[in-house]
């Protein structure tokens, strides 16, 4: 029994590791196919959709599914990614400008840019997993991701830690980048976000049921820390 259980867990671990490596390769190839800037968004959207399906236990051909979701979400993926990329570029330019000056005002501005950059990373961690899970108007994803990141600080801190860990490991071992770095980040953040969103949905459902029972719906809704996002994608 123990040997069988260990073998099953080992097989599952290495199967997931291989799946992550393939996802990493597909993300790189399809991002380059979109000339980088125009490929990152749809490649990330496709990857997070497939991560969610795998988390739910759905089996599908990885290459065929990735190509289909990439093409289907090319426009929407870019509409989500380009504002984040532009904001990141603007923050990087401002950081380089203010951090080089030694006066107090410049240092304060640099600190503000650093805080804004952390918040942008937090939003980026949430937005594509939210896109994979919920059916929302396109303009709502960045707004809801920002709200969720601010309201669920513990989960946001975990996602930021995962991001920092992946960046540190990739810098220490650059050989991980073409094989595992992006795929591992997409898989772990997607897996975590799916659980955060599920817990949030359960909290909303429980609060609504309690409000209906007590008969004070307005007060119960104001008292819950959950964020009402939208209907999950089937």
CB 135 within 8 A of CB 52: no
- Can you give the pLDDT at residue 219? 44
- Model-level pTM? 0.86
Higher pLDDT, 72 or 6: 72
What is the CB-side half-sphere exposure of residue 210 using CA atoms within 13 A?
A: 13
Q: What is the mean pLDDT of residues 52-62?
A: 89
The answer on pLDDT for 20 being more than 50 is: yes
Q: Is 184 helix (H, G, I), strand (E, B) or coil?
A: helix
Higher pLDDT, 12 or 68: 68
pLDDT band at 224 (very low <50, low <70, confident <90, very high): very low
Sign of CA dihedral 226, 91, 186, 143: positive
The Cα angle at residue 65 between residues 37 and 178, in degrees rounded to 5: 50
% pLDDT > 70, the chain: 89
CB 155 within 8 A of CB 234: no
* Chain segment 99-131, per-residue pLDDT in tens: 888 788 989 999 999 999 999 999 999 999 999
- Can you give the pLDDT at residue 220? 41
Mean pLDDT of the chain: 88
**Which residues are 232's β-sheet partners?**
134
CB 147 within 8 A of CB 141: no
Residue 111 CA to its chain's centroid (Å):
25
- Can you give the pLDDT at residue 59? 80
* Chain segment 156-194, per-residue pLDDT in tens: 999 999 999 999 999 999 888 888 999 999 999 999 999
Nearest CA among 92, 89, 156 for reference residue 124: 156
């Amino acid at each position: 029994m123990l040997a069988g259980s260990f073998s099953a867990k080992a097989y599952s671990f290495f199967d997931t590791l291989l799946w992550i490596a393939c996802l990493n390769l597909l993300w790189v190839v399809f991002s380059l196919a979109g000339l980088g800037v125009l490929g990152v968004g749809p490649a990330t959207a496709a990857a997070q959709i497939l991560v969610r399906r795998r988390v739910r236990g759905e089996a599908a051909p990885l290459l065929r599914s990735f190509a289909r979701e990439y093409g289907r979400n090319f426009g929407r993926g870019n509409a989500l990614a380009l504002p984040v990329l532009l904001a990141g570029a603007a923050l990087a330019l401002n950081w380089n400008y203010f951090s080089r000056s030694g006066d107090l005002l410049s240092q304060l501005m640099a600190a503000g840019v650093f805080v804004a950059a952390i918040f942008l990373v937090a939003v980026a961690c949430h937005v594509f997993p939210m896109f994979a899970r919920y059916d929302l108007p396109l303009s709502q994803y960045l707004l809801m991701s920002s709200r969720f990141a601010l309201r669920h600080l513990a989960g946001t801190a975990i996602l930021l830690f995962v991001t920092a860990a992946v960046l540190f490991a990739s810098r220490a071992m650059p050989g991980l980048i073409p094989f595992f770095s992006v795929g591992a980040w997409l898989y772990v953040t997607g897996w975590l976000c799916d659980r955060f969103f599920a817990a949030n949905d359960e909290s909303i459902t429980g609060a609504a049921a309690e409000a209906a029972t007590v008969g004070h719906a307005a007060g119960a809704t104001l008292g819950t820390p959950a964020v009402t996002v939208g209907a999950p994608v089937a």
